[in-house]
């Protein structure tokens, strides 16, 4: 007969989780609740008068063509960053998994960019692509490409996409490499004995086995592109030229801290939060069905 184990009431478990709960409440729940509350207000620039307007801020936003264009621009930017960073990380992890000599040094060099702060990463790309002093505009000029991302919106968008993807490649590389190394070598050797080449083994064997990691990184990269790329855009283009690189998170800052439209900025942050939650739910509900565990 099995005996049930009973533990006496103790304060210790609550004390152990209390720091994390306090941090979550102070830095996540409280700011989110304040943003929701302020999204229903219209305040003057000096904060001297406040008017409760319900959903008027949201109505104004969805009638604003600049906000709608920023919405579509954000979708394109996040998709491009996620696809580019994940595909490059997957290729690099595939090569790193096959290296025998010097593997530690090779992997260390690939991990380094993850330690670079977003603003510093943006500054590096600004220097490399500066139309006057940068090395890449000089090389592009040799092949007949006139590079000036300060004036060309398409070039500016391409630059922030490459910079944001480069910053995230190291993070994706770590997870892809760990996933590949967890696959038993006997499985890969059996496929090689059956006559499958390296490319066939990768697409038919390795890639399906690491699909849970791919799904996880898809969610993480989507959130990264929506929120964590603010520093890169601010350092490289500051949303320009002519709002060509103004995505939703940068528009929240620009309208709230520069334009001092606190109610409209709060409404934008609420919409952004709802959008990211909805994307995550859709990914878990539909994309995860194709994941093989």
The average pLDDT across 221-228 equals: 89
- For 88-140, the pLDDT digits (tens) are 999 888 888 776 666 677 777 777 888 888 888 899 999 999 998 889 999 99
77 alpha carbon, distance to own chain's centre: 10
d(CA 60, CA 228): 26
134 C-beta neighbours (distance < 10 Å), count? 17
Calpha distance 28→23 (Å, rounded): 8
pLDDT band for 237, please (50, 70, 90 cuts): very high
Strand duo 41-43 + 50-52: pairing = antiparallel
pLDDT of residue 8: 74
Cα 284 vs. chain centroid, distance in angstroms? 17
DSSP label of 259: S
Residue 244 pLDDT greater than 70, yes or no: yes
**Of the ranges 27-36, 57-66, 192-201, 204-213, which one carries the lowest mean pLDDT score?**
192-201
Residue 156: band (very low, low, confident or very high) from pLDDT cuts 50, 70, 90: very high
The pLDDT score that the predictor gives to residue 278 is 85
Question: pLDDT band for position 22 (50/70/90)?
Answer: very high
Beta bridge partners of 41: 52
Helix (H, G, I), strand (E, B) or coil at 131: coil
Per-residue confidence (pLDDT) for residue 99, from 0 to 100: 66
259 alpha carbon, distance to own chain's centre: 26
pLDDT above 60 for 1:
no
Q: Give yes or no for residue 293 having a pLDDT over 60.
A: no
Among the residues of 202-243, which ranges form H helices? 207-209, 211-223, 230-236
Say yes or no to pLDDT of 182 above 80. yes
What integer pLDDT is reported at residue 130 of this predicted model?
92
The confidence score (pLDDT) of residue 279 equals: 80
> Quick one: which of 88, 122, 77 has its CA closest to 226?
77
Q: What is the CA radius of gyration of the chain?
A: 24
Q: Which residue has the higher pLDDT, 17 or 48?
A: 17
d(CA 238, CA 250): 8
pLDDT at 147: 92
In the block, residue with structure tokens 């305040």? 43
Quote the Cα angle for 124-125-131, to 5°: 115
Burial 48-66 (b: 16+ CB within 10 A, else e): eeeeeeeebbbebbeeeee
- Res. 250 pLDDT band, cuts 50 70 90: very high
pLDDT at 196 over 80: no
Cα–Cα–Cα angle for 233, 238, 242, rounded to 5 degrees: 115
Quote the mean pLDDT of the chain. 85
Contact by Cβ (8 Å): 254, 246: yes
**What is the pLDDT at residue 100?**
60
Percentage of the chain modeled with pLDDT above 90: 33
The whole-number average pLDDT for the span 30-47 is 83
Assigned token pair, 278:
């909805």
Give the mean model confidence (pLDDT) for residues 172-180.
Answer: 89
Work out the pLDDT band at 148, boundaries 50, 70, 90: very high
Average pLDDT over residues 79-84: 94
Asked whether the bond before 241 is cis by omega within 30 degrees of 0, the reply is yes
How many C-beta neighbours within 10 Å does residue 242 have? 10
pLDDT-above-70 percentage for the chain: 92
């Amino acid at each position: 007969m099995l005996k049930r184990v009973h533990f006496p009431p103790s304060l210790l478990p609550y004390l152990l989780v209390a720091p994390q709960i306090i941090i979550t409440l102070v830095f996540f729940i409280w700011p989110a609740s304040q943003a929701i509350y302020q999204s229903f207000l219209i305040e003057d620039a000096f904060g001297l008068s406040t008017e409760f307007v319900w959903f008027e801020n949201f109505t104004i936003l969805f009638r604003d063509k600049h906000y709608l264009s920023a919405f579509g621009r954000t979708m394109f930017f996040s998709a491009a960053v996620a696809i580019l960073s994940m595909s490059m990380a997957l290729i690099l992890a595939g090569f790193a998994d096959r290296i025998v000599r010097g593997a530690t040094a090779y992997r260390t060099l690939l991990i380094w960019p993850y330690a670079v702060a977003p603003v510093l990463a943006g500054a590096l790309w600004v220097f490399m692509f500066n139309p006057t002093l940068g090395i890449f505009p000089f090389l592009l000029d040799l092949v007949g490409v006139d590079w000036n991302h300060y004036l060309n919106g398409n070039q500016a968008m391409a630059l922030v996409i490459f910079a944001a993807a480069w910053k995230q490649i190291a993070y994706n590389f770590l997870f892809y490499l760990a996933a590949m190394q967890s696959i038993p070598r006997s499985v890969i050797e059996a496929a090689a004995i059956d006559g499958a080449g390296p490319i066939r083994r990768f697409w038919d064997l390795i890639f399906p086995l690491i699909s849970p990691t791919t799904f996880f990184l898809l969610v993480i990269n989507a959130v990264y592109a929506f929120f964590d790329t603010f520093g890169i855009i601010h350092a490289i283009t500051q949303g320009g030229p002519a709002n060509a690189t103004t995505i939703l998170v940068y528009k929240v800052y620009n309208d709230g801290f520069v334009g001092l439209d606190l109610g409209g900025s709060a409404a934008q942050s609420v919409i952004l939060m709802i959008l990211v939650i909805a994307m995550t739910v859709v990914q878990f509900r539909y994309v995860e069905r194709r994941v093989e565990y």
